[in-house]
Amino acid sequence: MKIAIIGTGYVGLVTAVCFADMGHTVVGTDVVPEKIDKASRGIPHIYEPGLEELLKKNLKKGNLTFIHDLDEAIRSSDVLFVSVNTPQWKDGSADMVYVEGVARRIAENLNSYKVIVEKSTVPVKTSMWIKRTIDMHKKKDEEFDVASNPEFLREGSAVYDFLNPDRVVIGVESERARDILVKIYQKFKDRLLVTNIDTAELIKHASNSFLALKISYINLISELCEKTEADVELVARGMGLDPRIGGQFLKAGLGYGGSCFPKDIRALTRIGEDLGVNFDLLKESDKVNLRRIDVFMDKIKKALWIMKDKIIAVWGLSFKPETDDIREAPSIKVIKRLLKGGASLRLYDPKAMENVKQVFPEKSSQVYYAKSPYEAAEKANALLIITDWDEFKKLDMKKIKKLMANPIILDGRNIYEPSRIRELGFEYYSIGRE
Ligand code: NAD
Ligand code: UGA
């Protein structure tokens, strides 16, 4: 049984490499030639812990290949995992144009029975459209099945998550497809949840939206903490000790970014609207999340008064630690506003600077990319912490204080203990606590 991974982005590349590591024969393909060229040479086009080593290991083993030719990848494989992007459309719904494009190519190249597996996050009922598209365009009267296998990995721990899943959800409507997918995931047979396709599709959107809701909830609580003497870190701990609530995803901060939560919560809202179910609950979560940047900007204004001609150090540009991904990163929104206010910025991130340079080119006189967090802090009137990279928790803060013009820290992720950082002489502002 040969597996094709169509779309080798953050999810597809990890899926290809991990399936190969699980012993399957895998071919990966993508419309962006550089991604395939790099992967073939053992170089991932993204930063993801552990991915490069695993990619190299499995290329060497010989059961993992990457090819440019989508038609060939389809024809030569039995199971096709579709992991192309499903971005947000103007009205908030998921744009399925890439999925539809792939479905048509599969139809044109259907030369034997195949299982087409939705790995991308797609609206409930997408499988019906994929089936219809393939039926409309197929050239040979071959059989096929569509199945759903949503992915729950997190960027920054994607390889670990893929190889240690909490659950593997498989949505099928035939025994034949079920048996094939159960065999592929044999290693995780104790964690399989087999459902119908609508259910599997909905589990993904429902999970992401619930997690996003949880983050917005604690962020709203943090706003209340700021108006009282309560400390959001302790409120979250106190809540999380109840196993019915759980301590994860209760970290207040600058809100959720990334390529998934913002778009998925809007997509589910639209699905609800289309099917006559009101999801204003999720719209509120979105609003709370968007407001996080305003709340943070207000703090900066309170600390600095005027932005013009201030030198501001910014630590952390990726949307979360351990990734180079800057899609929907809070840093981008904050930087835009700081630049508009006339500040000069000294930016630092362990992995995401090359991606940020595409948005804010180096040649701008207002933007400087520093080689280290120390260099970023030089002569700064304030230091902003946007992403909670571990690196920032282990720095010599006495040295940072000496380097800065004014020792003011605005910590959007609560990485320091307020009393300890203030003892060092910093003016320190964080989220939802004194
Ligand atoms: P991505 O943009 O990194 O990857 C998608 C890839 O598909 C790109 O490399 C693109 O070039 C390729 N592609 C587009 N059209 C193609 C075509 N016709 N043929 C071949 N390749 C094509 O996106 P991603 O972050 O990997 O997300 C992919 C899907 O997985 C989305 O639906 C997303 O919501 C979902 N998802 C993402 C994550 C995550 O952490 N990033 C986790 C779970 C699920
Ligand atoms: C998220 C989900 O956690 C994955 O299960 C899912 O597969 C994926 O989306 C997806 O569908 O793409 P990811 O976006 O990679 O994964 O990262 P998370 O760790 O979930 O963080 C998302 C955002 O929420 C980040 O900006 C992070 O800083 C923020 N966050 C997270 C908080 O502000 N507080 C928290 O307590 C947790």
Decide: residue 18, CB within 10 A, 0-12 exposed, 13-18 middle, 19+ buried: buried
What is the DSSP code (8-state) at residue 116? Answer: E
Does residue 209 have its Cβ closer than 6 Å to ligand 1? Answer: no
pLDDT tens digits for range 188-199:
999 999 999 999
- Has residue 170 got a pLDDT over 80? yes
Band the pLDDT of 362: cuts 50, 70, 90. Answer: confident
pLDDT at 434 over 90: no
Q: Residue 15: CB within 6 Å of ligand 1?
A: no
- The confidence score (pLDDT) of residue 365 equals 86
Residue 9's H or E segment, with its range, is none
Which positions are annotated as active-site residues? 260
Residue closest to 255 by CA, chosen among 315, 328, 327, 153: 328
Give the model's pLDDT for residue 258: 96
Question: Please, which residues bridge with residue 147 across strands?
Answer: 117
Instruction: Please tell me if the CB atom of residue 36 comes closer than 6 angstroms to any atom of ligand 1.
Output: no
- Determine the distance separating the centroid of ligand 1 and the alpha carbon of 14, expressed in angstroms: 11
Among residues 260, 252, 342, which one has the least CA distance to residue 296?
252
Identify the residue whose C-alpha is closest to ligand 2 atom 11: 260
Model confidence pLDDT, tens digit, residues 54-110: 999 999 999 999 999 999 999 999 999 999 999 999 999 999 999 999 999 999 999
Q: How far is the CA of 98 from the centre of ligand 1 (A)?
A: 9
Return the ligand number nearest the Cα of 253: 2
Q: Do 200 and 149 contact (CB within 8 A), yes or no? A: yes
Mean predicted confidence (pLDDT) in 295-317: 97
Express each pLDDT in 244-270 by its tens digit: 999 999 999 999 999 999 999 999 999
Q: Band the pLDDT of 363: cuts 50, 70, 90.
A: confident
- Bridge-based pairing state of the strands 25-29 and 168-171: unpaired
**Ligand 2 atom nearest residue 161's Cα:** 5
Is 148 close to ligand 1, i.e. is its CB under 6 Å away?
no
- H/E stretch holding 423 reads helix 418-423
DSSP assignment string, 160-187: HHHHS-S-EEEE-SSHHHHHHHHHHTGG
Distances 131 to 106, 107, 117, 128, 171 between C-alpha atoms, Å: 11, 9, 11, 5, 14
In the predicted model, is pLDDT for residue 322 greater than 90?
Answer: yes
pLDDT on residue 43: 98
Task: Say if ligand 1 is within 6 A of residue 97 CB.
Answer: no
- Taken as a whole, the chain contains a residue count of 434
Q: In Å, what is the CA distance from 339 to each residue of 295, 304, 356, 374, 429? A: 17, 14, 14, 21, 21
Look at residue 247 in the predicted model and tell me its pLDDT. Answer: 97
Q: What mean pLDDT do residues 300-306 have?
A: 96
Other beta carbons within 10 angstroms of residue 49's beta carbon come to 14
pLDDT digits (tens, 9 = 90+) for 10-49: 999 999 999 999 999 999 999 999 999 999 999 999 999 9
Distance between alpha carbon 190 and the CA centroid of its chain, in Å? 27
Ligand 2 centroid to Cα of residue 179, in Å, is: 32
Quick: pLDDT tens for 118-148.
Answer: 999 999 999 999 999 999 999 999 999 999 9
Ligand 2 pocket, Cβ-based, cut-off 6 angstroms = 121, 151-155, 208, 211, 215, 249-251, 253, 256-258, 260-261, 319-320
Mean pLDDT on 275-290: 97
Arithmetic mean of pLDDT, 296-302: 97
Residue nearest to atom 3 of ligand 2 (CA): 154
Could you report the per-residue pLDDT of 376-413, keeping only the tens digit for each?
999 999 999 999 999 999 999 999 999 999 999 999 99
Angle, CA 122 vertex, CA 117 and CA 128 arms, to 5°: 65
Is the CB of 70 within 6 Å of ligand 1? Answer: yes
